[in-house]
Amino acid sequence: MPRTLEGQITMEKTPSYFVTKEAPARISSMCKGTKLIVVVRDPVTRAISDYTQTLSKKPDIPTFESLTFKNRTTGLIDTSWSAIQIGIYAKHLENWLLYFPIGQILFVSGERLITDPAGELGRVQDFLGLKRIITDKHFYFNKTKGFPCLKKAEGSSKPHCLGKTKGRTHPDIDQEVVQRLRDFYRPFNMKFYQMTGQDFGWD
């Protein structure tokens, strides 16, 4: 990676950092002053979306319902399944707080990123100490995808929308299973809201 010059901000991203046990220590040893941005969404929707993505690559995988439970009769959730485990945000955050103060971490709402992209990116710009340049005028809502698009990417005359792997139609999931997952995540969500000082409104 090239050196960051004065007046520049280097950004690097991967969805697996937040849930990788070794990541906080490694990043802290590289640069204790690193600012961290974590995009989170309703863990139930996130799990279904995760499953949908896997299903598109491996159509013969078991049903979402059968992967969710260790024991369907008792309703015991299989927390070893990564699609479920990733959404236990409070658990992952505890690990990060051993190395970084909460003030160095910005939590972005995945839901608000869709409904109010300029508002959420305004928070990101403030957090990074940048002038608010990105506003509502930079976005339009793409009804087909169900996501906002950037009106014009830098140096291009075409709008920039999320790729074809985003916005897939989710399979129909048994509502009883969805409710069981909501009940399972609720205490973890409440703890996460307390830790971050933000109520994301998932229920």
Characterize the bridge pairing of strands 36-40 and 76-77: unpaired
Task: Give the pLDDT confidence score for residue 190 in this predicted structure.
Answer: 98
How far apart CA 77 and CA 93 sit, in angstroms, is: 21
Give me the residues paired with residue 146 across strands.
Answer: none
- Asked whether the predicted pLDDT for residue 153 surpasses 70, the reply is no
Give residue 3's Cα distance to chain centre.
28
How far apart CA 101 and CA 195 sit, in angstroms, is: 11
Q: Is 48 exposed, middle or buried (0-12, 13-18, 19+ CB in 10 A)?
A: buried
Task: Give the pLDDT confidence score for residue 100 in this predicted structure.
Answer: 98
Task: Give the pLDDT confidence score for residue 49 in this predicted structure.
Answer: 92
- pTM score, two decimals? 0.88
- Asked whether the predicted pLDDT for residue 163 surpasses 70, the reply is no
Q: How many CB atoms lie within 10 A of CB 96?
A: 22
- Asked whether the predicted pLDDT for residue 96 surpasses 70, the reply is yes
- Asked whether the predicted pLDDT for residue 42 surpasses 70, the reply is yes
- Tens-digit pLDDT profile for residues 69-80: 998 888 899 999
What is the share, in percent, of the chain residues with pLDDT greater than 90? 66
Per-residue pLDDT, averaged over 109-122, amounts to 93
Per-residue pLDDT, averaged over 73-93, amounts to 95
Task: Give the pLDDT confidence score for residue 126 in this predicted structure.
Answer: 97
Nearest to 17 by CA among 4, 1, 2, 30: 30
Contacts of 145 (CB under 8 A, 6+ apart): 161, 162, 166, 167
- Asked whether the predicted pLDDT for residue 108 surpasses 70, the reply is yes
Task: Give the pLDDT confidence score for residue 151 in this predicted structure.
Answer: 81
